[in-house]
């Protein structure tokens, strides 16, 4: 079920007014993470809505599962989706079902109950944007084994605190990870190189919007890079400001260009900049 917001308001009240549905059921959808606003999972009843936003409610319609986020491309071998912030890519010990993998598998198995899905690469739980999944093991292996050669562009949009001294730069660091999964800059020989390029697109008194390209795919490398510059990403609860209470991590994988062997050519996948990113840049 999809809706386009016609006027500003709060999520629960707006849905109650627009849908022939008991408020209790709408609350259940929110509690179970089945409602997405501009591709981001929302659970707060009073989530602020702005006219023009898109709402997707992942309900069963006549027994069929709807994919609750945008499908950018799909054929017999891959499916490319726009992952919302707050959703794990794959299961963990604590969470088995509320994952991108589980949701996409349910979606494709509506057409073929024997269909399979395979993760080709991942995004952090709190990062939104483009994720490629394979529908067969051969395609998964082909893409994973040649990922760095096939992918020519990995671009993100981020909002960071403050203004950057350099409006365009390349950050080269060596990273290691602690036993508690915290990534840090290191001079040790066994640390792995991380290369992060950025360019400031827009700035105001409090924030800067940056376009980011990565040449390496190290864990948390973008978050660590901007934290080390003292301009952490907005909403970064791991490497950012303690007093930052943003509703999400302001990092979105918006462009991915890769060679697709099945078509024997490069394909560019793109997503729009999330509405909340634009909103924070227009704030004073």
CA-CA distance, 51 to 244, in Å (whole number)? 26
pLDDT of residue 233: 97
CA-CA distance, 123 to 126, in Å (whole number)? 8
φ, ψ for residue 13, nearest 5 deg: -60, -40
pLDDT of residue 63: 45
| Per-run averaged pLDDT (10 residues), the chain, 284 residues | 86 85 83 83 87 80 62 92 91 71 88 90 93 96 95 97 96 93 91 96 95 93 96 94 88 96 93 91 78
pLDDT of residue 60: 54
pTM above 0.95, yes or no: no
Q: Which residues pair with 159 in a beta bridge?
A: 209
pLDDT of residue 229: 96
CA-CA distance, 112 to 117, in Å (whole number)? 12
The C-alpha angle 29, 75, 265, rounded to 5 degrees, equals 130
Domains of the chain in start order, with CATH, are 1-61 (3.10.290.10), 67-145 (3.30.2350.10), 151-253 (3.30.2350.10)
CA-CA distance, 232 to 227, in Å (whole number)? 4
């Amino acid at each position: 079920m999809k809706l386009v917001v016609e006027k500003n308001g709060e999520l629960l009240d707006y849905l109650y007014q627009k849908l022939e549905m008991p408020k209790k059921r709408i609350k259940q959808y929110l509690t179970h993470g089945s409602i997405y606003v501009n591709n981001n999972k929302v659970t707060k009843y009073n989530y602020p809505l702005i006219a023009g936003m898109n709402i997707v409610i992942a309900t069963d319609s006549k027994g069929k599962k709807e994919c609750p986020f945008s499908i950018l491309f799909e054929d017999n071998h891959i499916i490319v989706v726009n992952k919302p912030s707050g959703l794990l890519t794959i299961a963990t010990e604590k969470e088995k079902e509320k994952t991108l993998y589980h949701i996409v598998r349910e979606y494709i198995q509506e057409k073929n109950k024997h269909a399979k899905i395979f993760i080709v690469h991942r995004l952090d739980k709190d990062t939104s944007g483009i994720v490629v999944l394979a529908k067969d093991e051969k395609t998964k292996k082909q893409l994973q084994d040649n990922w760095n050669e096939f992918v020519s562009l990995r671009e993100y949009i981020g909002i960071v605190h403050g203004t950057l001294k350099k409006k365009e730069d390349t950050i080269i660091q060596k990273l290691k990870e602690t036993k508690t999964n915290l990534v840090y800059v290191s001079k040790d020989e066994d640390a792995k190189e991380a290369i992060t390029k950025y360019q400031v697109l827009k700035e105001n008194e409090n924030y800067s919007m940056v376009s980011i390209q990565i040449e390496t795919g190290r864990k948390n490398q973008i978050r660590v890079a901007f934290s080390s510059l003292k301009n952490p990403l907005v909403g970064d609860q791991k490497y950012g400001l303690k007093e930052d209470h943003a509703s999400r991590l302001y990092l979105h994988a918006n462009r991915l260009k890769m060679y697709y062997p099945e078509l024997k050519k490069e394909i560019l996948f793109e997503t729009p900049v999330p509405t909340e990113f634009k909103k924070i840049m227009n704030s004073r």
